[in-house]
Amino acid sequence: MKHDLLDKMQMDRRALIKAGGAAGLAALLGNRPSWGAGETPIKIGLVDPITSTFAALGHSEIKGALFAEAEINKAGGVMGRPLQVLVEDSAGNPGTAVDKASRLLSQNKVDFLMGTVNSAASLAVSQFANRHDKLFMCTGGHVDSLTGKECKTTTFRTCSTTWMLTAGDFETLFKKFGKKWYFLTTDYAFGQSEQADYTTQLKKAGGSVVGSALVPVGATDFSSYLIDVKAKAPQVLCLLLAGNDQVNCMKQIAQFGINKDIAVAGALFELEQAQALPEAARYGWWTMEWYWNQPKTPHVADFVKRFTAANKGEYPTARVWFGYATTHAIRLAVEQAKSTETAKVVKAMEGLVLPPEIALQPGKVFYRPQDHQLMLGMFPGHVIQTGKYPDLFSVSEIVPGEKIALPPSETGCMLPHA
**pLDDT at residue 7, rounded to an integer:** 45
Mean pLDDT, range 139-153, rounded to an integer? 98
Structural domain includes residue 410? no
Residues 4 and 313: beta-carbon distance below 8 Å: no
Domain total in the chain: 2
pLDDT at 10: 43
pLDDT at 35: 55
Same domain, 345 and 266: no
Nearest Cα to 278, choosing from 257, 246, 251, 296? 251
Are 172 and 302 members of one domain? no
Q: Predicted confidence band at 416 (pLDDT cuts at 50, 70, 90)?
A: confident
Question: Does residue 243 sit in the same domain as residue 266?
Answer: yes
Partnered with residue 276 across adjacent β-strands are none
In this prediction, residue 95 carries a pLDDT of 98
> pLDDT band at 167, cuts 50/70/90?
very high
Indicate which CATH number applies to the domain containing 259.
3.40.50.2300
- Are 130 and 32 contained in the same domain? yes
Mean pLDDT of all residues in 294-317:
98
The answer, yes or no, to whether residue 30 has pLDDT greater than 70, is no
Percent of the chain with pLDDT over 70: 90
* pLDDT in the model for residue 34: 56
Whether residue 36 sits in one domain with residue 118? yes
What pLDDT was estimated at residue 269?
Answer: 96
Contact (CB, 8 A) for 169 and 145: no
Domain presence at residue 417: no
| 409 in a structural domain | no
pLDDT at 36: 58
Question: What are the residue ranges of helices labelled H in 141-215?
Answer: 162-177, 189-204
Across the chain, mean pLDDT equals 92
83 pLDDT more than 90: yes
Q: What would the pLDDT profile of 331-358 be if each residue is shown by its tens digit? A: 999 999 999 999 999 999 999 999 999 9
Q: Does 227 have pLDDT greater than 90?
A: yes
pLDDT in tens, 88-122: 999 999 999 999 999 999 999 999 999 999 999 99
Tell me: do 83 and 157 sit in the same domain.
yes
| Structure confidence at residue 37 as a pLDDT band (50, 70, 90) | low
Same-domain check for residues 224 and 249: yes
Give the per-residue pLDDT at 139.
Answer: 98
The reply to whether 141 and 273 lie within a common domain is no
Cα–Cα distance for residue pair 254/158, rounded to 1 Å = 33
**What average pLDDT does the segment 161-183 reach?**
97
Computed from CA positions of residues 260, 263, 264, 270, in that sequence, does the dihedral angle turn out positive or negative?
positive
Asked whether residue 7 falls in the same domain as residue 150, the answer is yes
Confidence (pLDDT) at 25? 37
| Tens of pLDDT, residues 387-401 | 999 999 999 999 999
Cα radius of gyration rounded to whole Å, the chain: 20
In a domain? residue 237: yes
Residue 397's nearest CA partner among 202, 169, 159 is 169
pLDDT at 275: 95
Question: Are 181 and 74 in the same domain?
Answer: no
Question: What's the pLDDT at 32?
Answer: 46
CA nearest to 288, candidates 405, 160, 196? 160
Distance CA 256, CA 121 (A): 33
pLDDT at 11: 44
- Whole domain around residue 182: which residue ranges? 163-289+379-404
Asked if residue 359 and residue 332 are part of one domain, the reply reads: yes
pTM here is 0.91
196 and 77 together in one domain? no
